[in-house]
Amino acid sequence: MEQLGKEVNAMKYYHPPTNAERHTERERKFRVLNFRPEFIPPDAELVDIEQSYLLDVGKTSRRVRKSLVEGRVFYTYTEKTSVGIPGERDEYERPITEEEYRMLLLKQDPATRVVRKTRSCFMFAGKLIEFDTFYEPVPGLYVAEIELNGWHESIELPPEWDFVEVTADKRYTNHAIAQGRLPWPY
């Protein structure tokens, strides 16, 4: 695990967990309606992601994720539980081995599809933006996420973006997308 920690710390923005961690996730989400490739800064860190959802346990969604960043592969197990506030969830994450990832994939919820996307991570107005370009199961969907320490924080998005906030729209969670709950057109 020590080597994993060194690899993760060498990355600019994307930081998969190096050990088990539990925290409250607060994020706002925005669907970008007018995406153009030049919206992604040249220094953005690109992460190719495949995530699969496992059978839920009560109100907790569970997933495994394979992330490819700068030629390195990371595997993560995550549990998320809604706390009743849009955009806020209790989250538990831990790194897993490739073998554990493959074993957990055998428990994939048959009602879900694999989510494949590229995440572009970059700073704007002092905040980290995680910009997702979806390929499956919703090609052509573009969503920006900004994690917050508290709801009092103000945020800015690039002025050239035409966007709509979807934080409170449950269809835009990755779990709902995997379940096919975001019908075309988005």
Look up the CATH number of the domain holding residue 67. Answer: 2.40.320.10
How is residue 27 written in tokens? 């994020």
Q: Which domain holds residue 124?
A: 24-178
Residue 117: strand pairing partners: 49, 134
186 in any annotated domain:
no
How is residue 63 written in tokens? 């997933």
168 in any annotated domain:
yes
Tens-level pLDDT at each residue, the chain (186 residues): 445 444 444 578 888 888 999 999 999 999 999 999 999 999 999 999 999 999 988 999 999 999 999 999 999 999 999 999 999 999 999 999 999 999 999 999 999 999 999 999 999 999 999 999 999 999 999 999 999 999 999 999 999 999 999 999 999 999 999 999 988 777
Q: Shortest CA distance to 114 belongs to which of 165, 148, 73, 64?
A: 64
158 in any annotated domain:
yes
Number of structural domains found in the chain: 1
3 in any annotated domain:
no
User: pLDDT value at position 15?
Assistant: 82
Rg of the chain taking only CA atoms, in angstroms: 16
47 in any annotated domain:
yes
Residue 66: strand pairing partners: 50, 75
Give yes or no for a contact between 162 and 33, defined as CB atoms under 8 angstroms apart.
Answer: yes
The pTM (predicted TM-score) of the whole model is: 0.91
Distance separating alpha carbons of residues 116 and 51, to the nearest angstrom = 7
Give yes or no for a contact between 154 and 173, defined as CB atoms under 8 angstroms apart.
Answer: no
9 in any annotated domain:
no
Whole-angstrom CA distances from 14 to 26, 52, 73, 158 are 17, 19, 12, 20
Give the DSSP letter of residue 19.
Answer: S
183 in any annotated domain:
no
How is residue 45 written in tokens? 């860190």
184 in any annotated domain:
no
Give alpha helix (H) positions in 70-183: 98-105, 174-178
